[in-house]
Amino acid sequence: MNIYAIRAIYIFEMSRTWRTLMESIAAPVLSTSLYFVVFGAAIGSRMGNIDNISYGEFIIPGLVMLSLLSMSISNASFGIYFPKFSGTIYEILSAPVSPSEIVIGYVGAAATKSVILGFLMLATARLFVDYEIIHPVWMLAFLILTSITFSMLGFIIGLWADDFQKLQIIPLMVITPLTFLGGAFYSIDMLPQPWQSISLFNPVVYLISGFRWSFYGIADVGVATSLAMITLFMLICLAVIGWIFKTGYRLKD
């Protein structure tokens, strides 16, 4: 394993975060703060409890997950797309660096940014709502697993995209709607049939449910099922990335 190559890619990607601090950190935290103000304080104060939890507390895991998914994809997709756009991707591919080392460098940096952002949003939520985390170790596990998995998805999108517009198609047209419909602002138990059953086909339901369980011990689906779904999606992303490097799809055009 070429540790030096991984470290070089990782440090370069992390340094890009500090150069674009407003877009990478400040903007997501500010937008999430607005959600807390509107839904947590203004609307939440007029709503009843959900599973004996105030509405302001209930939506914290969903809001964190909403930003976490979109930023994981965005960080990883932009990170690998710029070398393609500038042509420096060929220097990376011709260097003595294996595909796994390239993936670890880019995905590791994107996941690190997302985890940092997740903690910043949890700290921001504390300014608006008092909450406790019953299972902090599992919360961290879900945070890291989700960040890594969706950073892999972003890496795939960055390799697939051939213009800047395509980088935003999946996050805006697929991930964001799935997150809003995946129980970020409500429990799927509140839905009538058949919408409860239909919601179970939404993979984001399992992410939010498992993450919320780590906070309050309540979940729409079993925790083991949530972990299995995250693991399955991670394996699918790994298989797709492996196929891309093996075939050279969008890399050797």
pLDDT value, residue 147: 95
What is the three-class DSSP state of 53? strand
Supply the pTM of this predicted model: 0.90
Q: Tokens at residue 31, please?
A: 């937008």
- 1 close to 101: Cβ distance less than 8 angstroms: yes
- Domain annotation covers residue 252: no
Smallest Cα–Cα separation from 186: which of 208, 203, 211, 201?
Answer: 208
Measured between alpha carbons, how far is 126 from 57 in angstroms, rounded to an integer?
10
pLDDT value, residue 24: 67
Phi, psi of 59 (to 5 degrees): -85, -5
Q: Nearest 5 degrees, angle CA 22-CA 24-CA 28?
A: 85
**Helices 136-160 and 99-128: crossing angle, nearest 10°?**
130
pLDDT value, residue 253: 59
Measured between alpha carbons, how far is 246 from 253 in angstroms, rounded to an integer?
14
Per-residue pLDDT of the chain (253 residues; tens, 9 = 90+): 888 889 999 998 888 777 766 666 777 778 777 877 777 666 666 677 777 888 888 888 998 998 899 889 988 998 899 888 887 888 888 888 898 999 999 999 999 999 999 998 898 888 888 888 999 999 999 999 999 999 999 999 999 988 888 888 888 888 888 988 888 888 888 888 888 889 989 999 999 999 999 999 998 899 999 999 999 999 999 999 999 988 888 776 5
pLDDT value, residue 22: 66
Helix (H) or strand (E) holding 37: none
pLDDT value, residue 21: 66
Q: Tokens at residue 165, please?
A: 């517009």
pLDDT value, residue 35: 78
Q: Tokens at residue 75, please?
A: 């960080």
Distances (CA, A) of 241 to 69, 142, 160, 251: 18, 22, 11, 11
pLDDT value, residue 231: 93
- Domain annotation covers residue 174: yes
- Domain annotation covers residue 160: yes
- Domain annotation covers residue 158: yes
Residue 151: is it exposed, middle or buried by C-beta count within 10 angstroms (0-12/13-18/19+)? buried
Measured between alpha carbons, how far is 104 from 76 in angstroms, rounded to an integer?
11
pLDDT value, residue 90: 83
Torsion angle (degrees, nearest 10) of CA 38, 41, 45, 47:
40
Distances (CA, A) of 2 to 34, 50, 182: 43, 50, 40
Q: Tokens at residue 81, please?
A: 């797309």
- Domain annotation covers residue 67: yes
Residue with tokens 């500010």: 30
pLDDT value, residue 57: 87
Residues spanned by the domain of 234 = 3-247
Look at the chain and report how many structural domains it folds into: 1
The strand pairing partners of 53, in sequence order, are: 50
- Domain annotation covers residue 159: yes
**Cis bond upstream, residue 99 (ω within 30):** no
pLDDT value, residue 132: 86
